[in-house]
């Protein structure tokens, strides 16, 4: 068992790329403008924020709030929410979709925030980035205390007009697919009633 508590380090170049990424992320940019370095820079920055939160020593409740901010800042929440809702997103009204997106953002921050607690004392390091079809895959390795390092991948796109990630893949397990199965099951239990689902998501 290895223990690697080395904090995430941004190299000088990585830092410059992260700054470039941050700048690019703040501007609406034309399609095809996203580069491998920018995609990597975005995740470098997101990872730095996550590492800062898990080493902050704040209360769990406060960390959930911080995670929600990171998620809202770096992830394409509307597209993730829409994908999680699956076929039901096609029949939902736009008011329902935006209410669902808002409720879903809190729900997913609490859910994954709880999991990120396991990262305390560990570190995430971005190792590579490459284009896939119409988006980019940023590859990182997570080193947790007493665990073998594992593979963590982020899919980044600029289709929303900003550089944002829309999927996380942990050792091959795809967040979008897992979320779609879960939200689909929650919706089935409520006989397909989106309004009940939205109300309940705030409590889960």
Partner 1 sequence: MCYIIPSFSTLTGVISRNGALIGALMLSACAAAPLPEGTNDPFEDRNRQIHAFNVGVDKALLRPAATTYDSVLPEPLEQGIANFAANLDGPGDVLNNLLQGRPGPALENTLRFALNTTVGIGGLFDPATALGVDGDPTDFGETLHIWGAPEGSYAEVPFIGPTVERDLVGTLVDVAMNPLRFVLPKPESSYATAAKLASRLGDRSRYSETVDSILYDSADSYAQTRLLYLQNRRFELGQTVGEDNFEDPYEDIYAD
Residues that bind partner 1 in the complex, under the rule CB under 8 A = 1-2, 79-80, 82-83, 90, 114-115, 118, 132-135, 137, 148, 151, 155, 157, 159-160, 166-167, 171-174, 176-178, 181-182, 184-186, 189
* Lookup: tokens for 6: 């080395």
State phi, psi for 142 to the nearest 5 degrees: -105, 130
CB of 174 to partner 1, least distance (A): 6
CB of 146 to partner 1, least distance (A): 8
Strand partners, 22: none
Which C-beta is closer to partner 1: that of 20 or that of 139? 139
Distance of CA 176 to the CA centre of its chain: 10
Which C-beta is closer to partner 1: that of 48 or that of 183? 183
DSSP conformation class of 164: E
CB of 182 to partner 1, least distance (A): 6
Q: Where are the alpha helices (DSSP H) in the chain?
A: 12-25, 36-54, 60-74, 77-85, 88-91, 94-116, 175-189, 194-201
Which C-beta is closer to partner 1: that of 18 or that of 166? 166
CB of 136 to partner 1, least distance (A): 11
Q: Cα separation of 81 and 10, whole Å?
A: 31
CB of 21 to partner 1, least distance (A): 20
Whether 170 contacts 150, CB under 8 Å: yes
Which C-beta is closer to partner 1: that of 36 or that of 186? 186
Q: Is 171 left (phi over 0), alpha (psi -120 to 50) or beta?
A: left
Which C-beta is closer to partner 1: that of 73 or that of 159? 159
Distance of CA 109 to the CA centre of its chain: 9
């Amino acid at each position: 068992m290895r223990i690697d508590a080395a904090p995430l380090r941004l190299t000088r170049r990585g830092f410059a790329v992260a700054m470039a990424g941050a700048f690019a992320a703040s501007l609406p940019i034309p399609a095809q403008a996203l580069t491998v370095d920018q995609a990597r820079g975005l995740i470098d920055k997101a990872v730095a924020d996550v590492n800062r939160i898990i080493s902050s020593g704040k209360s769990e409740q406060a960390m959930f709030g911080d995670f929600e901010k990171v998620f809202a800042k770096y992830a394409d929440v509307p597209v993730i929410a829409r994908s999680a809702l699956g076929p039901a997103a096609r029949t939902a009204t736009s008011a329902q979709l935006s209410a669902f997106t808002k409720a879903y953002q809190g729900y997913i921050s609490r859910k994954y925030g709880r999991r990120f607690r396991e990262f305390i004392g560990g570190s995430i390091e971005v190792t590579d980035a490459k284009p896939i079809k119409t988006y980019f895959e940023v590859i990182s390795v997570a080193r947790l205390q007493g665990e073998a390092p594992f593979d963590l991948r982020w899919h980044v796109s600029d289709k929303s007009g900003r550089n944002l990630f829309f999927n996380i893949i942990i050792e091959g397990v795809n967040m979008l697919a897992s979320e779609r199965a879960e939200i689909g099951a929650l919706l089935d239990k409520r006989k397909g009633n989106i309004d009940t689902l939205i109300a309940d998501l705030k409590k889960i």
